[in-house]
Amino acid sequence: MIYAKQCILLIACLSLLGLNLEGSAFEQGIAAYESGDYSQAIEHFHTSIDTDTETAAARHNLALAYAQSGQTSEALWQLQRAHRLEPSNHELLIKIEALKQQIGLLPESYSWFVLASHYLSFSQWLILSALITWILVWLYLLGRFSQRSLTSGRLTTWILLMLALPFTAVSYLEQSRGQILSEEPVELRAAPASAAPTVGNRLPGSQGRILDQHEGFYKIKTTDQQTGWISKNNFRPFYLDPK
Amino acid sequence: MYTYNHSLKMRFRYPFHLVFISLLGLLSAQAEVTIRAYFDPPSIPLGDRSQYIVEITETSTRSMPNHQAVNSLDIPPIENLSLRNGRISTSQRTNIINFEQEYSLTQSVVVEADPSQLGTYTIPNYTVEYKGKAYSVTSTQLKVTERDENAPPGIDELIYLQIDLPESLYLGQSIESELKLFVSTDINLRGLNGFDRNADSFTVSELPDDPQERVEIIDGRRYRVISWPLEITPIRSGEQPIDFQLTISAVIPQSRNSRDPYGSRSPFGSSIFDDMFGRTERLNLYTDSTTINVKPLPTKNQPSTYSGAIGDFSMEVFSDTESTSVGEPIMLSLKLNGKGNFSRINGPELPASPAWRHYKPESTFEPRNDSDREGTKRFDYVFIPMKAGQQALPAINFAFFDPETEEYVELKGPPIEVAVKPSTRAQAPLPSTQTGNTEKARPTETPAPSLVNPEERLFTLDYQPKSGKSSINSNPLKNKSFWIINGLLAFATLGGYLYLRRREKYRNSETFALVQACKQALQQTRKELKAACDQNNHESFYLAAQNAIRLQLSICTGKNLKAASSAEIERDLNALSIETEQLLSLRTILTQADAIRFSGLSSSSSSSHLESTYQKLQNALNKLS
C-alpha cells in the first residue's frame, strides 16, 4: 500500500517534469528569439516539437525564427503546418499570405471547402463518415423491423453523410499536398534524374500535389498545373509520414 | 469366310487385341504437332532482307485443336544477323479426305532478318515449348550473296533512315540532330505510321509535326529527304545505346514486289491494278544501332559557381540606373548569349550583402533560328539598397563547361558602382504587440535589415503552448484497428439483422412459432427420456417417449399434435413416408405407453430392453426429423 502511494507520487512528479520540459524548451526558444539568437531559437522549438506533442504555437514560432534567419520557404512550410494543426486560427492565414508576398508568390484564394476540411484531420473525417454510415445502416434496420417511422432520422443522417464524405475526400487529397522548400527557384524535371531536362522553374514556397515518387524524386503537379519531377530534398509534404 | 460363331470366338479369344487397337485409334485421334522453320527467301543479295518463319502446326482428326499463343521464341543470337519486328499469325484449315475430316491449326511466327555481311547464316537447333511439351526447331540457313551489278537496287538502297550522332557526349549536354528519311523518287510515300526509339538513357524531343523536305542526288539517284530535328540529352553516363525506328506506308514499284521481303500480302490477293501501280507495303525502317559514350562532367577545376551549364556562352552585365536612393529598387541584368543547354541554366547565386537586399531573378529566353539551344537568356535581379553612399552591386560570376575544349570557363562580371542617396521615406519601427494571456515586456528592436520588412507587423510570437494535435498525420486506412473495428461492427450489424428477422418471423408466423416451441420442448423431452432410461423407470420413459413422438410429429407436420389422440398420431405417421421398421417401433412404443398410462400396467421388461427401445426411438425420431 505504501509502495503504491510512492509509485503514484513518482508518476505525478514525472508527469509534471514532462510538462516542465515541454514548457522549458518552448520558453527557451522564446527567450532565444527575443534575444536575437535565431539559430538557437530554431533548435529549442524543434526540441519542443520532438520531445512533446507538436503544437501550432511551436510551429508558428519556429516559422518566425526561420524567417528571421532568412529561410523564408522553410518558414512558410512551418506556418502551413501550424495552420493545419490549428485551422481555426485565421491569424496564421494572414501571416502565410504576408510571407508569400515577401517571397514573391501570388496570393492564394482559399476555397471555403478546403479550409473547412482542415478543421478536422483526415482520420477524424474518416471516422466520422464511418460512424454516420453505420448509424444510417442501423436506422434502416430499425425502421425495417420496428413500427416506428424513422424517416426524419434517416434523412438527417443522409444529409450528414453527404456533407462528411466530400470533406473526407478533400482531406484525403490534401494529404498529398506539399511545398517547395529550396531558397532559390527549383527546376522541375522531365524525368526522375538530376540530369534530365527541365520542364519549368518554380519559386520556393510554391505548393503542389504529389502524384508519384521514384527513388529520391517526387512527381508533383503545382497549383498552376505544371507537372514535373523534383528532388525530395526540395519538396516536403505538409502531412509528414508518422515513421 | 467366317461364321458368326467363329467371329464371336475371335472376339473373346483376343480381348487384348481389341484393347490395343482401340488405344491405337485413340492415339491417332490425338493432336499431332509439327514445327517447321525456314528463311523466305533462303538466298538474298546483300542489302535485301529475308523473313525467318517458324510454323507450328497442330493437326487432329477429332476436332479443331485449341489455340495457345506462342509468345516468345528462344532464337539463338547470330552475329551480323539482326532479327527483329516479330509478329504472329494464325490460320485454321479443315481437310476432308476420303470422308474423314482433318483439322489443322497453324501459328506462324515471322521475324525480319537483316544481314549486314555476305556469307551463310545458320540458326541452329533450339527448343520451343508448346502446350507444356518441348519441341525441337530444326536448324535453317540463309545465304547472302553479292548483289549482281545488273540486279535492281535493294529496298535498303531505295528507302532508308539515317541520323548522325556523335561518338561521345557529356552528361547533360544537349545536342541537336536530324533524323533523315531518304526516299527514292521511284517510291511513292503514302504516310508515316509510327515513330519509336530505343533511347532509355536519353531524353529525346518529340518528332515535330512539320518536317523539312529537300531533294538530294546520292550516287546518281534522286532522293526525297525528309528530316526532323531532334534534341537529345543524355541522362545516364556510360556506353548507352540509341536507335530510332520509323514505320511508313509506301507504294513499292511492281518489279520490287516479286520477292515481297516485307509485310504481308493483301488478303484480297493481287489484281491487275496492283501490277500496274505497285502494291502498298508497310515498312519498318531502322537507323543503325549506335552507342554513345556518355561521359560524366570532370570534377577537376570545376568552379564553385558552376551549376550545370554546358555550351559556349558570352556574358553581359548591366544595371538600369547608376543612381538611386535607399529603399528604391534598381535592376541588375545578366545576359547570356551563345549555344548550349539554356533550359538548364539558372541565374547565378549572388552573395548576401548588408548594403543590398536582392530577390530571385526573373528570366526570359529569346531563341535564335527557332532553336532552344541557341539564343539569349536574360536574368533580371531586383536590388534594394539599404545604405546610402557609393555602393557596389555584387559581381556576377557565371561558369559553364565547354564540350569542345573540354574545359570549364568562368566569366566574371565587374561590380557596378551605384550612387545611393539617403531615403526620403520615414521607416516605421517593429511593433511590440502581444498575443495570448501572458503579458511580456519586449524590448523594441530594429528588424534584421535583409530579412524583415519594416512594414511587416505580424512577426509576433505565440506565447501559448496549447495542447498538441498529433493525430493529423495518421491515416486510419493503414491502421489495422480501424478495419478490425469496422469488421466487428459489420459482424454485429449482420447478427442483429438476422436476429431481428428471426424474431419477426416468430411473431408473424404461428407455424414457425409452434415449430420453434416444439423443438425446444423436444430437446427437454429427450433429456427426460435419457434420464428415465438410465433410472430404468418404465412409466416415465414411455410417457416421455409418447411426448417426444408427438413433438417430433408437430415439427414435421406443422400441426399442433401435443394433445393429439393415438388415432390422429397414427394417421399422421402413416402419411409420412417412413420405413416400416421405424413405423412399427413407434407404434409399439405408443401402444405400450397407452397401456401403462390408461390400464395401469407396469412393464416388467429389463433395463437392456428399455435401452434398446430407447435406441430404436432415437433412430425413429432422427429419421422423422
Q: Which residues partner with B133 through β-bridges?
A: B130
- Residue B3: per-residue pLDDT: 35
Other CB atoms closer than 10 Å to residue A75's CB: what's the count? 27
B174 or B9, greater pLDDT: B174
Cell 543547354 locates to B341
What is the interface size between A and B, counted as CB pairs within 8 Å?
Answer: 144
Low-confidence winner among A199-213, B139-153, B340-354, B463-477 (lowest mean pLDDT): B463-477
Q: Is A70 on the interface with B (CB under 8 A)?
A: yes
B254 or B431, greater pLDDT: B254
> Hey, of A93, A180, A198, which one would you mutate to test binding to chain B, going by the most B CBs within 10 A of its CB?
A198
Question: Cβ of B463 and A30 within 8 Å?
Answer: yes
What average pLDDT score do residues B246-256 get? Answer: 75
CA angle in degrees (0–180, nearest 5) for A121-A127-A130: 140
ipTM over 0.85: no
Q: Is the pLDDT of residue B432 over 60?
A: no
Q: Verify cis geometry, omega within 30 degrees of 0, for the bond prior to B41.
A: yes
Contacts of A203 in chain B (CB under 8 A): 360
A68 CB-near residues (< 8 Å, 6+ apart) = A33, A38, B448, B451, B452, B459
The residue of chain B with its CA nearest to that of A117 is B472
As separate numbers, helices (DSSP H) first and strands (DSSP E) second, chain B gives 10, 29
Give the integer Cα–Cα distance in Å for A113 and A37: 40
- Residue B454: per-residue pLDDT: 38
Percent of chain A surpassing pLDDT 90: 30
Percent of chain B surpassing pLDDT 90: 19
Q: How far is B389 from chain A (nearest CA, A)?
A: 25
Residue B430 confidence class, pLDDT cut points 50, 70, 90:
very low
A106 CB-near residues (< 8 Å, 6+ apart) = A100
Contacts of A175 in chain B (CB under 8 A): 475
Residue-wise pLDDT tens digits, B562-605? 888 878 888 888 888 777 888 888 888 888 888 877 776 565 56
Give the integer Cα–Cα distance in Å for A223 and A101: 16
- Residue B415: per-residue pLDDT: 84
Residue-wise pLDDT tens digits, B101-112? 888 889 888 888
> Are residues A90 and A77 in contact, defined by beta-carbon separation less than 8 angstroms?
no
- Residue B272: per-residue pLDDT: 43
> Are residues A184 and A204 in contact, defined by beta-carbon separation less than 8 angstroms?
yes
B279 or A152, greater pLDDT: A152
Residue B427 confidence class, pLDDT cut points 50, 70, 90:
very low
Q: Which residues partner with A221 through β-bridges?
A: A209, A227
Q: Is A87 exposed, middle or buried (0-12, 13-18, 19+ CB in 10 A)?
A: buried
**Mean predicted lDDT score pLDDT of chain A:** 83
Residue-wise pLDDT tens digits, B439-466? 333 333 433 333 444 344 456 777 666 5
Question: Cβ of A60 and B462 within 8 Å?
Answer: yes
Residue-wise pLDDT tens digits, A119-174? 888 888 999 999 999 999 998 888 888 767 778 888 999 999 999 999 999 988 88
Contacts of A98 in chain B (CB under 8 A): 456, 458
Question: Cβ of A201 and B363 within 8 Å?
Answer: yes
Closest by Cβ to B235, choosing from A124, A191, A241: A191
Contacts of A141 in chain B (CB under 8 A): 493, 496-497, 500
Give the integer Cα–Cα distance in Å for B419 and B358: 17
Q: Is A86 on the interface with B (CB under 8 A)?
A: yes
Q: How far is A3 from chain B (nearest CA, A)?
A: 32
B215 CB-near residues (< 8 Å, 6+ apart) = B185, B222, B223, B224, B225
Question: Cβ of A58 and B465 within 8 Å?
Answer: yes
Closest by Cβ to A70, choosing from B451, B453, B458: B451
What average pLDDT score do residues B515-541 get? Answer: 90
Residue-wise pLDDT tens digits, B489-525? 999 999 989 988 888 887 778 888 888 889 999 999 9
B185 is written with which cell numbers? 523518287
Q: Is A169 on the interface with B (CB under 8 A)?
A: no
The residue of chain B with its CA nearest to that of A89 is B462
Edge to edge, the sheet with strand B389-393 lists: B323-325, B416-421, B389-393
Q: Which of A63-72, A112-121, B252-261 has the highest mean pLDDT?
A: A63-72
Contacts of A148 in chain B (CB under 8 A): none
Element (H, E) at B477: none
Contacts of A121 in chain B (CB under 8 A): 469, 471-472, 474
- Residue B277: per-residue pLDDT: 54
Question: Cβ of A68 and B451 within 8 Å?
Answer: yes
B97 is written with which cell numbers? 479426305
Q: Is the pLDDT of residue B419 over 80?
A: yes
Q: Which residues partner with B48 through β-bridges?
A: B46
Q: Is A56 on the interface with B (CB under 8 A)?
A: yes
Angstrom CA distances, B460 to A69, B230, B298, B580, stand at 15, 55, 49, 100
What average pLDDT score do residues B233-241 get? Answer: 91
Question: Cβ of A48 and B465 within 8 Å?
Answer: yes
- Residue B22: per-residue pLDDT: 54
The CA R_g of chain A, rounded to the nearest whole Å, is 23
The full 3-state SS of B430-481, as one line of letters, equals: CCCCCCCCCCCCCCCCCCCCCCCCCCCCCCCCCCCCCCCCHHHHCCHHHCHH
The residue of chain B with its CA nearest to that of A85 is B469
Contacts of A191 in chain B (CB under 8 A): 203, 235
What average pLDDT score do residues B277-291 get? Answer: 79
Contacts of A144 in chain B (CB under 8 A): 500
Hey, which residues 3-22 in chain A have their CB within 8 Å of chain B?
A: 22
Closest by Cβ to A30, choosing from B346, B451, B461: B461
Contacts of B236 in chain A (CB under 8 A): 193, 195
- Of B386, B398, B389, B449, which Cα lies nearest the Cα of B417? B389
Residue-wise pLDDT tens digits, B327-379? 777 888 899 999 988 888 888 888 877 788 877 788 888 888 777 788 999 98
- Residue B569: per-residue pLDDT: 83
Residue A243 confidence class, pLDDT cut points 50, 70, 90:
very low
The reported pTM is 0.41
- Of A68, A76, A63, A33, which Cα lies nearest the Cα of B452? A68
- Residue B450: per-residue pLDDT: 39
Q: How far is B411 from chain A (nearest CA, A)?
A: 21
Low-confidence winner among B223-227, B459-463, B610-614 (lowest mean pLDDT): B459-463
How many residues in total does chain A contain? 243
B417 is written with which cell numbers? 558602382
Residue-wise pLDDT tens digits, B262-278? 444 444 444 444 444 56
Q: Is the pLDDT of residue B76 over 70?
A: yes
Q: Is A57 on the interface with B (CB under 8 A)?
A: yes
Percent of chain A surpassing pLDDT 70: 87
What average pLDDT score do residues B304-323 get? Answer: 88
Contacts of A184 in chain B (CB under 8 A): 346, 349, 360
- Of A74, A55, A56, A58, which Cα lies nearest the Cα of A66? A74
What average pLDDT score do residues B532-549 get? Answer: 88
Question: Cβ of B343 and A197 within 8 Å?
Answer: yes
Closest by Cβ to A191, choosing from B203, B347, B453: B203
Percent of chain B surpassing pLDDT 70: 82
